[in-house]
Amino acid sequence: MSHTAHIRSHRKARRSATTSIAVRAGVASGVLGMAAAGAASASAAEPVTQTLELPTLTADLATQVAQSADATQQAAANYTLQAERDAAAANAAKQAKADLAEAKQKAEAKKKKAEEARKAAAERAASRSAERTTLSASTSSSASTSTSTATGSAAAVVAFVKAQIGDAYVSGGTGPNSWDCSGLVQAAFKSVGVSLPRVSQDQSTQGTQVSLSNLQPGDILYWGSAGSAYHVAVYVGDGMFVGAQNPSSGVGEHPLSYDPPTGAVRVL
């Protein structure tokens, strides 16, 4: 026998498995019972209503909302205004482009017209230069004979215009002391009972057209073209004419070479 066999053990006796299971079952049963009782009590109680309180719209918050609405409206107005400005700018650019094209077209037309006028003036100058040469040669050979034929009404017309030499030139003047070119010619022919139109254009188409190489005293000289003459005077013979030229020279007598005429008409 061991020498410790007579000593009593100090360990506690183990609880049996059956006992442990029973205890656990009892505890679980109690817990379940309490849970069931709580649920029954809760279902029997009156239902609980929960009320949620919404925040009150204070004056500051209302102001902020109004300001936000105003800002949105202002932004929309700004966008609309900008769109209108953009549209106006586009229309203005389009109109400016059209105006520029029209201005260029007009400038081209004006340039073309000016070139045509320049060419016409050059042609007229060349023609007048040729006529001047012809006139200079013809007057030197015919002056003596033309002067000797100044009789009757032609001589009276020549005498009338020579009597006005030294009078003033006034646009629209018809005498007795101031004249314009057609006023003097009209008055000279009126003195012999011949009625002439008032203006140079019409006077240049009266009577019969005559050559500048076959002039006679009393013939009407004109500058420009027949029907659109801008100046008239009276040929007085010996290669001379009398006319109301301009404000600086007044009524004077000048050689044909002073300002060669374009053509002449014979009324008497």
- H, E, C per residue of the chain: CCCCCCCCCCCCCCCCHHHHHHHHHHHHHHHHHHHHHHHHHHHHCCCCCCCCCCCCCCHHHHHHHHHHHHHHHHHHHHHHHHHHHHHHHHHHHHHHHHHHHHHHHHHHHHHHHHHHHHHHHHHHHHHHHHHHHHHHHHHHHHHHHHHHCCCHHHHHHHHHHHHCCCCEECCCCECCCEECHHHHHHHHHHCCCCCCCCCHHHHCCCCEEECHHHCCCCCEEEECCCCCCCEEEEEEECCEEEEEEECCCEEEEEEHHHCCCCEEEECC
160-207 pLDDT per residue, tens? 999 999 999 999 999 999 999 999 999 999 999 999 999 999 999 999
31 pLDDT tier (thresholds 50, 70, 90)? very low
Task: Kindly state the average pLDDT of the residues 95-102.
Answer: 88
Query: Over 80: is that where the pLDDT of 17 sits?
Result: no
Residues, the chain: 268
Task: Kindly state the average pLDDT of the residues 41-55.
Answer: 53
The CA-atom distances, in angstroms, between 53 and each of 50, 56, 98, 199 are 10, 9, 69, 107
57-81 pLDDT per residue, tens? 566 777 877 788 888 888 888 888 8
Q: Find tokens 């076959």 and name the residue.
A: 214
Return the number of other C-beta atoms located less than 10 Å from residue 157's C-beta.
Answer: 29
> What structural domains and CATH numbers belong to the chain?
123-266 (3.90.1720.10)
Query: Over 90: is that where the pLDDT of 29 sits?
Result: no
Query: Over 60: is that where the pLDDT of 265 sits?
Result: yes
Q: Find tokens 């100044």 and name the residue.
A: 150
What per-residue string of b and e applies to 66-90 under the rule 16 or more CB within 10 Å gives b? eeeeeeeeeeeeeeeeeeeeeeeee
CA distance 76 to 69: 11
CA distance 184 to 62: 97
Residue type, 71: A
Mean pLDDT of the chain: 79
User: pTM (2 decimals)?
Assistant: 0.49
